[in-house]
Structure 1
Amino acid sequence: MKNKLSTLLLAGVATLTMFSCVDNDNLNENNGDNDALVSFGVNDVQTRAIAVSGRTLTRGAINPYLSSEDLAPQKLDVKGADAEKLCIIETTVEGVNPVQADAQTRANVIKNITENFSASGHRGTTEANITTKPEWFYNEPTLSNGKLVTPRKWSWAIPHARFYAVFPQVKNEYTKIKLSPETYEGSPYIEFEDETDVTNQKDLMTACSGHVHYSVQGTAPRTDLDFRHALTAIKFAVGQNLSINKTISKVEIRNALSKGKYTLSDKFDGTGAKWENLSDAKTFKLEGLAVSTNQNPNAVLTGNDGDNYTFYMIPQELTGKNITVYVEFTDGSKIESTLKGSWLAGTTKTYKLSEKNSTWEYTLETTNPANVAYNQDKSNDYLVTSYRNAPDGTKQPVKWKAVGFEEYDRATDSWTNLGTNKPTWLTAMSKENGEGGANAESGRATITKADLKDRLTEYNKVLQTATEKGAAGNYYNLSNTNGGDAIQNTANSYLISAPGYYRIPLVYGNAVKGGTTNESSYKTAHTGTDILSNFKDHLGNDITTPYINVQNASNPATQASIVWMDQQALVDGLSVTNNGDKSFVNFHVSAANIKNGNAVIAVKSADGTIMWSWHLWFDHSDALSTIESTNHDGNKFKFTKNILGYTLYKWQATSYESARAARMKIEQELGNGEKKTAYITITQTPYAERIYSTTFYQFGRKDAFPGVDVDKLYGGTIVKNAGDDMSIKNSIQNPEKFYTGDVSWANNYNQYNLWSMETTVVKDPTNALVKTIYDPCPVGFHMPPYNAFTGVTTTGENVVFQPGKINALGNWDQGYHFYTKDASSPSTVYFPAIGSRRYNDGELFGVGGKGIYWNGIADGIRTGRCFTIEENDVRPLMEITRAAGGCVRPVAAQ
């Protein structure tokens, strides 16, 4: 967050002079007199001027040296995409991000600041011989209430002084704001270097007390520090009715000077302060944007987290200096405009992308409040700035009013017009009309707090009361759409959403597709050391048929058992029907015991050797409904609503699962032709308190492992550390064994195509992934391709400690609600930090703090590609050892 004194002083400020008496013995300086302590009245010149002037800020109220030409608007040409249609309109207002003070604020103008600043003191026996060096004190930390951290007393023998102050506090560890040396003679100066990342920039304010005389011994003289802005604020906005339909992803100011020397004024009124010795042209960036040019008319550009970023730039000449504004869109197109005129200290410039034929005398801008938590009933301030430029350059207020409300519909990804009605959860908008002015008017939304209710009981009740499928002796075939006899589509995992009598055909994974043999799921023409050309069965033999009891006709599967369950008695009555290519494993799911959970069952030969196993997932029928998500390259993938094997043990939540949003449309009451309109969007985040788990998978295996400890399993168990003994044969015969280590994986389970049949290289970028019989996903789904997750960051790359580049709504919530496209649409998909199983011992690890989501692509003979998530570490292109247990979020087959 930016360090801004202006936000701390906020309202107009009256003089605050602090008085205090302490024993001389408590001070480092003992003058032998009962002298008063040095303290300051801390004021913000800008806020005080706004409070006094109200809506119409008279030119020069803050800076008397500004001319009408300094505040005159400009139209700037652009180069690049759609240059023939577009221009940039530059407007300038006095003050740095000025906000109007309302009547209550103007009546109560004193506000405590909350951060320290630096102060230096010069003194002398007369005004004329006040020292030119800070011999009294130098760069002393000063509290927000005007008291020095290390108290200093006035001296009756040396009663004349001058004080200088700098905000933010100058600290040795931050090298980009340096105060002139203690030995320097003259008005102090700041060596300033501007941050190129806008999110890290600092506002700079300074003050000088002028001459102060300690004239009454024991009574501190009034000592005011009137802070003034030393930098220029730069904002960017999109205009109204733009004909282009694009999304802005990045804004840059290029070739602007980043370093300079700022000499403080030695006068109370701030005159004489100056910038000089400017150097080091650099590019200043605001990244991580997702601002639609046609969904956000007249809106100031903001980051994904709702922060309203402002560039703080060193004042400098622009004309002829080749300083440009650069705007980039998500489709790769870009525009650039050369700036003219100058940046002046203590002013705010807005560069608005506009149509060339648009009228630009009228300005209407809105700033949305931050997202509101589910348990809050008030938003932060939203802002509206509405004015027009008179011929003489002054800003004249333009009244505005609300003309309607809309609510976001997640199902259609569109806004529903509600007319003049608000949605039921949006109780009120404190400001639905305003008088306008160059200084923003503010309001707040009142929102209904969302109650939490027990959702798990009703969630499981849906399963328990669903219509039973099949009957004793007439089992429902899970590979058939209607449960009939024909074997249509098979997989290693089946979703069950109702009680009943079920059967699964004894088929290797997805080896039957559309009712016919799917040979491409277990054979490929590719060969090589790291290619499995013909997939193997439980004995290590080449698979030649989809049917387990045809492949093993001489020693077929004749019995079945439960490997493990994470809820009690989910499955009972297992048996095997042995009939060649019409063999099935049969089981019963009772209405009394069905609930959200998982089970793994296996079929065995007569001697008890496991020949194959399946994952049974008990969840709602819509668990496999899809959420379309766009990756960084624009490719669309349909992820399952729930992560494979998702199981709830506790669930309290709001009635809405995704953020709910409404927006108020406002309109200026005057206009040149068409009146300007803009939107204020209010977003309330969801909340859920869940205890849950998912199944975990080792890279290339079909076998599901529980997301809970072994002492919470029923009807079986797992061996969470089965040693470094991985092979295809062992993995099939022992679905309960979590093989650890590294060597056996590299030697025996090293193939590139275990989950993607036609992959022959590591980091295969294909989106056309061919599902294999070792794929753990249900029918109609397969493992995510290599780059399926790159949309989780704004760059498509791994992001560490760069929150502005995480493409998510809201803050960390034991995971992130990632945008399915970008911040221009509130649609999200939640990826929890569900944890994993460690590769070296099979123990659960990182639950609630880290998540691992497998891709279907190998990264090496020891590693697989994956997406990992932590609060400050989001990596869509990561690799980890194959022996680790990660989650699977299936992708719908194209």
Structure 2
Amino acid sequence: MKKLLIWLPGMLSMLAACTEAVEIPARAPEKQSPVRVELHLTTEQQAATRAMDENCIRDVNLYLYGDTEYHFYFPSVSSPLVFNVLPGNYRSYAIANAGQDLGDKNAFKIQFYETAVDVMESSDAIPMTDRGTLAVDGAGRCTPSSLRVTRSAAKIAYTIEVADAVAPSLRLRSVQFCNLPLTIRPFDSGSISSTVEANYYDGEAMPVGNERRTAGTAYLFENLQGSVDTITDQKDKCPENAPACATYLRILAERSADKALVEYIVYPGENNTSDFNVRRNTWHNLELVIRGENEIDNRVLVYDGLYYGTANCHICTGDQVTFDVTPYRTSRSRNYAYLGIEAGDEYAPASAGLLWQDNKIVTGFTLADNRLTVRTNGQRGNALVAVYDAGGTILWSWHIWCLPNDRPQDDRYTNRAGEQFLVMDRNLGAIGTDLKTRYGLVYTWGRKDPFTSNEVYNAAGRKDRFINHWPTIYTSNGSEAKTYDLTYMTRHPTTYVYTGWYAKLYTYYDNALWGDPAPVDTYGWASAKSVYGPCPEGYRLPSRYTWTAFENYVFPGEPYVVGAFDNGYWFQRFRGDTKGTFYPVPVGNDDFRLDRDGVAVMLTGAASEPTSATPYPTVYFKFEINSGWTNFEGGKGKGLVRCVRE
């Protein structure tokens, strides 16, 4: 029993002589009763292939660990799951498609739970799991309201074809996946898999029937065998160089002349050369062409990148704008292109909100069926809005550019080589013509979300200078940079990362981030528009030769302009242009570094290496007139953007 000692001020003299205190029993805590909870279970939605239903959830074991531990088994699943627990905070573990009641497991044992491949093969249902937290209040409401289970297997889709030139001499006989894990620990994600060969088996060889072409889909448990960095050519991704337990595809073909068998070995992974990781819940697409007995053309695509919608900027010319926020997949091997491959409902946003606005323009949101409507008061301004998952994590964000009855127009440029470009008539984010509003927003290389040096209103309605109010991370070396990768930047769109060598940060010289993975001295682009580009739909970042029309190669260092410098230049869009197109210069703004000729800072989609070991950290791809040539110089930091038609 708890004892409460009460000392009365008026009895000090008596208390000085007494040794026994007054005892009053404390009130017993109110006893809580279990509450009824409804919890939804979701998974990625994809079309089923073969006999395997990728989305099937047949049974669920649910474990909750808090002040009280619970285990619930649902032999059949309907939505929602219904159970009774005491209010409180729990660590949750969900195991779907185990095929049986797994019984009680304490919080330690659950970490080492193993799923056997027999479970997947016998039930034609993929084991799935989820680990997270669950908060239950006294009314039975739980946060989050749903659990998203993740598949413990990777999907491997393959197409194998014998090239026309060798078709008369070779025919496919069988396809077989080898070195497959017997078990997987679903709550031990990301660590290197076992290197003991006894823990692996070879799958059944699937006959082809002496055909020229075959295709299929397999579901394989995760097998992470790391990478071999010395492999730089896909022809060297072979058994002699591969980790002993790496998963591979074995193809047998028959030679027509003597019926001899020819074997081909293909290793899936996250690239065509050095990587030997088959990760759970990823989709690999193997497109293989056999061109001879010793030659196979191996094309491996891993769609593990995630993006939302069809553009990262949306122009609002009225009082609202509606756009797609569907989750899609992309891949570095496709240079982060917009591929339109839906990722599934498991990644769908749960809510939307405002991050900042430079004018009080946003009045509300409607999110339904993967469409987001942003309502405004019809005034000019910029805003950054985001969608969130059920736990409040930012999934993706968009720039809303409000220009009532003033949609940007295109100027036609003809560059030095005669190539023509349709270029937007203003900088991205420019909302006016005065010194404060005509420059537009500021972008850091490789990131889709804008910054601004002007005052803005944050989500709470407080007005402040953006760069003073929002967090800034200072870093200077590559090891720190790895912390701030694409995932971090996507989830923290208002965090500015400053570094002494910006190119070493999360970009790692990855020129594909802005759509030019292999910049060379040619006109046009090296790839499609990137999902990390900041331009509206129909536009992209320019190629590096968009502005060569501005260069005066008769008098090097003097641009072709119309009139004199006046807080910027009216550049000639083509030779002999008498009207020009205006590029403002942000004079007096500490957040910009100006060219010696006062030419506007400008960004392009083409990347270049820094010109020195210590480039200017706040400027990158600076558009300048220099030595008779329009070029770009060092460093990656922040600057203005002008978009060009795709």
Q: What TM-score does the superposition give when structure 2 sets the normalisation length?
A: 0.44
Larger relative contact order (CA 8 Å, sep ≥ 6): 1
TM-score normalised by length of structure 1: 0.32
